[in-house]
Each structure stands twice: as structure tokens, then as C-alpha cells.
A and B are shown apart, each in its own frame.
Chain A
């Protein structure tokens, strides 16, 4: 089955700096890679996703890059703000099964 690893587990950055979270996956058949933001006591919220037919996707301050050859993908948050503080999860899935395999999460703290 699929194995998704996520690093780092915790990340602290100064407000205005960039944050990068990295994930690797094992199943080359995986073709969909979403990122979720989870605030304390709430369910995960989809913030950005990428499919295997593209290498990069950007939405305002958030971007995701995908390297299919190396089987890794990354989340980039620029100009971080305190409200970006949360736990971020990466996931991988195949359309055929659509089961999501989640990374272990990254707790991001943006220091004002």
C-alpha cells in the first residue's frame, strides 16, 4: 500500500517569512495530492491540491510543487501570517481507490 511521510513535524517561522513542508510517497500510481489545514478542534480544510499531470500550482500565498520522478511534493506558504498557524496534512490517493493516505502532520506556528 501507499506510505506517505511528512517533514518536519513542527515548524516555527517569523511572521512574513516563508514556510515549506515536504512529503514523500511510495506508490507511483498515486496521482492526486491534496493539502489540508486543521485548526484545533476542527475538521481538516482543503487548501490546495495538485494532480500528477502538473508540476506546480499556486493560489495566492500558497503553492504546491510535485516531483513525480522523486515521488515527493511540497507545500510552500509565503508571507506567513499568525492565522496560518495550524496543523497541515499532506495526502496521496489514486482515483481508482480514492482512499486518502495521510502524512503525519506538521504543526506550524507563525510568531508575530
Chain B
């Protein structure tokens, strides 16, 4: 149980285009999901907290107009990187908090984004 999927696992896009990353909780409901960015050999940096049915909460320094988050159902959150630039290239990871437990978060396998 407690499986979180992400799609795609890898994506290459050209500068100026947009790319959407999906995060799904497969066997539990998740009112709250989180989006992280991870640079090589570094820790996870929280970008935003996604809440089903309401606006996402962005961390300081994260551009909400560039990283659009939509949490349309209890099992799906999407992150859209708009007008992508090479500096947006990174490993993006989502996590989902199981509504049935008060603490645990389960992570997806990550999405490697490369902007050329």
C-alpha cells in the first residue's frame, strides 16, 4: 500500500515551452500533497503545499506564476512548469499525505526535467 506515482519519469523540453508533471496517490486519498525540487547531491527543497479544492501555498522564493499547481481531486495533483528555462532543469518529487494517518507522507519516484 501507500504508493505514489509520478508521470512522466523523465521529460526533455525546449526553452519557452511548458511541461506538466502528474502526481497520483494510487491506494489512498490525499487532501494534501507536496512538491519538492532536488538538486544533485542536495536535500529536498519544498516548493509548495497543494491542497485539494483550494489554492496551493508556495514557499518563499518560489514563483507561483511559473510553477502552477492544481490539486483537482483527492488522488491527483499536477505541477506545470511554464515558460521553462535551462535553470529549471532539476529533479522534481511529489509526496502525498495519507488522509487516514496523521503524519506519514509517501513520496513519488520523481521526475527528471531537462530544459534545452
Contact = CB atoms under 8 A, between A and B. Distances in A.
Interface of A: 32, 34, 36, 41-46, 49, 51, 89, 93, 95, 98-100, 102-105, 107
The DSSP consensus for interface residues of chain B is strand
14 contacts: A32-B103, A34-B103, A41-B110, A43-B108, A44-B44, A46-B104, A46-B107, A49-B103, A89-B44, A99-B46, A99-B49, A100-B95, A102-B43, A107-B41
A46 B108 CA distance: 11
Contacts, number: 52
Interface string B6-44: 100000000000000000000000001010000001111
B85 interface: no
Interface of B: 4, 6, 32, 34, 41-44, 46, 49, 93, 95, 97, 102-110, 112
B103 A95 contact: yes
Contacts of B4: 43
A102 B102 contact: no
